[in-house]
Amino acid sequence: MNIPSLGSVRGFFEHFLPGFFMLGNLFVFGALAFFQNTTMACIRCPQKELLSMLDIGKQTVFLTIVIVTSYFVGVLMRLLKTGLPDRSSAWFLRFIKPNARRAYRIYKSKDPEKMKMNAEVLARHYCYFEEFPYVRWLGYVRKACFPRAKALSLFYENTWARILEGGRSGRQESNSQFLNLCKSLVLANDKDSWSDIYALEALVRFISGMFYAVLISIALILVGLVVAIIRWDIGLMIFLDAFFCLYLVCMAAILGNLRMLRIKEVEQVFAATFAHRELLYDMFGESCLRPLGKPIK
């Protein structure tokens, strides 16, 4: 029997959990903010007492509605792009890492002399500002960790690095399509590697969904705080402040790890395609067998 789990074929929990979290916050903080008579009543009401108001049939219908609605809300959040959480994670990492901020300023300046003088600094920090799928960062890792691996360098320069060359659109959408093609090749030829890649991809999707869920929940809390200040409800303000601090910590944990997890996913795809590099060689043609050229900058 297939039990739904994070990263399973159906991907149930990576949609359900963010949706359930979002739905619960919407119910609690929405009720607290907009229904004055239920300010603390819904929290003080014991769970058993609440369920005892319903017979078994109604409980089943209620739980079914909650599960279906939570899954639907989770799917809606899944439709939101992963780019925003990814860029937000990169911004947060630059915020807490001064060297990454310095490298980013050099990169954004587009000054050829500055970039040439600080080429090594830029290479070490590409992971904090490069767009998905982080091809330049892969080039740095390949050169820094495997400097004598000629086959790896040949593979990188003549396949992955090609999406950085002139003649390509250079858009993130095109780069993502290349990564999707690599994933399809791995799926068709290496089920074991694909299971590892899919587990990381599912984790990234789950954390991305939780990013949107926590972000919307923080917005709801802020609305609730405004209403509580207008009413001058001290108890409600303390309650909402506690959850606001808790969710800020959750958001910091998400932003501090999402970019690194997504990079890990891409590195897994790169390693799997290198193991089956003849498939990409067949796709790109004989020019993939050319000698090593100039490194991509």
Task: Tell whether the model's pLDDT for residue 70 goes beyond 80.
Answer: yes
- For residue range 2-43, list pLDDT tens digits in order: 444 445 545 677 888 888 888 888 887 777 666 654 444 455
- For residue range 218-260, list pLDDT tens digits in order: 998 888 888 888 888 888 888 889 999 999 999 999 999 999 9
- For residue range 91-118, list pLDDT tens digits in order: 999 999 999 999 899 888 888 888 888 8
Instruction: Name the more confident of 37 and 70.
Output: 70
**Domain spans in the chain, listed from the N-terminal domain onward:** 12-79+208-254, 82-129
* 132 close to 262: Cβ distance less than 8 angstroms: yes
